[in-house]
Amino acid sequence: MSSDPAEIQKSVRSYMTVFAMLMVFTVITVAASRFHLAVPVGIAVALIIAAMKGSMVAAVFMHLSHEKRWVYGTLLLTGAFFLVLLLVPLFTSLDSLAIGSPWTAVKSGE
């Protein structure tokens, strides 16, 4: 991380740009929620916008865009375990959920 004041000045401009973009995306995400989209579309739109906002915060504010390999490695490992955390409980309980199993729907020819 450069500690040269001139470099930091340049970074300040990018901080302000990201702030403006985050505000725009906040407005977009609230506006998008006003449209009565189909549930999966609505979820996708909301999460995509949130992911874009999140990656801007991570890349610019948290300086992740020029971080060291050890930090990237930590986050990659975290991401992998996070996915497991998110998906495995969901998969193990699919049969008992209100939506039912997609396979029975296919079998009965629906």
Kindly list the residues in this chain that would bind other proteins in the complex (CB under 8 A): 1, 3, 5, 8-9, 11-12, 15-16, 19, 22-23, 26, 29-30, 32-33, 42-43, 46-47, 49-50, 53-54, 57-58, 61-62, 68-71, 74-75, 77-78, 81-82, 85-86, 89-90, 93, 96-99
CA 44 to chain centre: 10
Nearer to other proteins, 1 or 109 (CB): 1
Task: Give the nearest distance from C-beta 90 to other proteins in angstroms.
Answer: 6
Task: Give the nearest distance from C-beta 107 to other proteins in angstroms.
Answer: 22
Task: Give the nearest distance from C-beta 109 to other proteins in angstroms.
Answer: 25
Nearer to other proteins, 97 or 106 (CB): 97
Write down the residue that tokens 């050890």 correspond to: 70
